[in-house]
Structure 1
Amino acid sequence: MSSKKIQRVIVKYCINQASSSELDELYLWVKEKENKAEFINYVKTNYLIDYNLKSFNSGRTEHELNKLIESEKRVVRLRHVQRMSKYAAAIIIGVLTTVYFLKDNIFHSSGDDTINPELVNTHVIEPGTDKATLTLEDGSQIALQKGTSLKTFYATSDGEQLVYESNQKRTKELVYNYLTVPRGGQFFIVLADGTKVWLNSESQLKYPVSFIEEQDRQVELVYGEAYFDVTPSEEHNGSKFKVLNNAQEVQVMGTEFNIKAYKDDISIYTTLVEGRVSIHSSGQNRVLKPGEQAILNSSNNEMSVALVNVNNEILWKNGIFSFDKKPLRDIMKTISRWYDVDVIYENKQLETITFSGVLGKNQNIEGIFTTLKTLSTIKNYEISNKTITLK
């Protein structure tokens, strides 16, 4: 198999698009010792190898890779003979993605990269990291980032997460803090009631430092995207949990869900993973079931509900971008926020080209666009400072 062909098969395997015959070819190809170096160099350029597979020279790594390819081959064959519900398919694909997704910054071997990105200059674009700005009740602001620690009257932080004490220091009146995550950032917070919140890039959350007993627990996603794992009402004397933003109110009883409400998006997306939520907006009331997504058009307040692949909506918090027939325009919004870059199109028609697959959030940005180029989603790309031009 030619080098160009095997590169394409590896990419298709990594993003869950390889056919059964291609997986057969990959399995046989990887078994040849002389092909291991090429595999290492290619994956080093583009992907993140799972942390259990640290050294490809080990017999265990070779065994694990072959086992994963065989596992995927079985799933591919299964797709041809068995019809599955969208939700069941989402679970299977999500498990496969988590198990075999390849990650970079693991290899230490030397050697030239197989594919070289198109660079105008050498400005390094780093992937996002854990960072945020905490605004306290008195208006003062504190930068949170990896390697720094913080202790306030209500909370502590190690620079990667912010944890509020569990309602032991109650306030008679609600006292609010803000957590603001910039472009190129993400952050994890545990609220005073034990609710866990993952904040995506370019997001802001308003919340009380302590909840008042027997009153609704209420927070506001001012803008951006957040994943909520809410503690049940039963643990708080029946107190309901509500998430507000400028167009809707989400009421929950103890559940997991994702809200995407960016300022530059016309729609607000609420995706239920498990449990039950009720969405209120301009006289409308919709109750979601697990696997359903409510889409609220903020310009005309129309709301629709559809069954979706949940993993495409929530894997961002696990370090993975997952797309299912998404137009490049929407994908590039996600990439722009995470890498804090601007994307321009040499040909506007590129914006409507769709892409399906998974991409690692921690890989270098050249790997993202090399993948899109290898799969002919784009013909070429150019990186100049913090601007990417797609061709």
Structure 2
Amino acid sequence: MEEQLHQLIEWWQAIHSLDLVLAVALPTAILLLRRWLSDLLILGIIGIVRRFGLLIEPTARSSLRPAMTGLLGMLAAFLGISVLDLPGAAALIVLSVLQSLLVFGVFWLINALILVLLEQAKVIGVHQGRLRGSWISQIVRFLLVAIAVVVVLNVWGIDLGPALTGLGIAGAAVALAAQDQIRNLLAGFNIAAERRFREGDWIRISQDVEGIVEKIDLRSTVIRRFDNGTEHIPNSELANNSLSNFSRRTARRLRWTIALTYGTETETLNSICEEIASYINTSDRFVGLTEANLFVRLYALEESSIDILVDCFVAANEYSAELDARHELILAIKKIVEGAGAEFAFPSRSVYTENKATGLAGSI
């Protein structure tokens, strides 16, 4: 301790006054100009990022300013101490601390930049909600903290070789014990890569679970059923089962049969089919014949009716639009059938009786 104190006294007596001025003036100038320097450096980062086809909106730049100003403050302290050239162990300790702070400042800025890019991608529609923001932010933060800790330990001269070997053995044991969690995690990344669905989509899983995707997490996906209950589905099940995404539909299918009486004439049946097909083909609520299949045909001879098949698509994916289209189509079909002088059929049954006394048969 006395030796360290003696070294500091000798250093203080031998230090040049210009070094002291520079050690104070340089950090002070950086601290006073840190906001201007911060904006200038952020503009430089934006220019570099733009070369990779990524854009950062002006409103998002404010998210980078705290990290950049913090990094400049740490840099000012490091430069000030470096100019002084402290002697002995004091220099080693102080410089190691400041280098550690600089490392965390750099990774803090990288984390802020990545989060800004992710948020910007979500706003412009590239992200498309297929990966929840918290997913990537958690993963990025974990990786950056892990790398920063390794770099800081390296600054302090700590050898990580034996520790990494032990971590490898422990990691293998943890992997065996957490197979389901790892399987769900990998399945989640697989789902995200395939873009099978995103939050807000209406999906059905193997005919068992149907609802709106409410949240996509690392291990499971939360689905809000239409009875307002929730289902937490492990991602491995989502990856291994068939899944229907109704939100990706561009149209909703209608498939009806219209029952007409057997007394309807052949020409009338053809006329009714043609008029219904013409109405659907010219209506804005339905997909026309040039864009999708449209069938209006005589379909079956039932016990009490001749059936006409109406197979078409509503030009919307919203349920309310389908209801409006159904309403108008029913009114149009009723008007066409009545205008043609035909009648709708309904199930009926005739009962024949025989009078044994007279031998005459009759029906009821």
- Common fold, TM-score beyond 0.5? no
TM-score (norm 1): 0.19
Which protein shows a greater Rg?
A: 2
More helix by share: 2
TM-score (norm 2): 0.20
RCO higher in structure (CA 8 A, sep ≥6): 1
More strand by share: 1
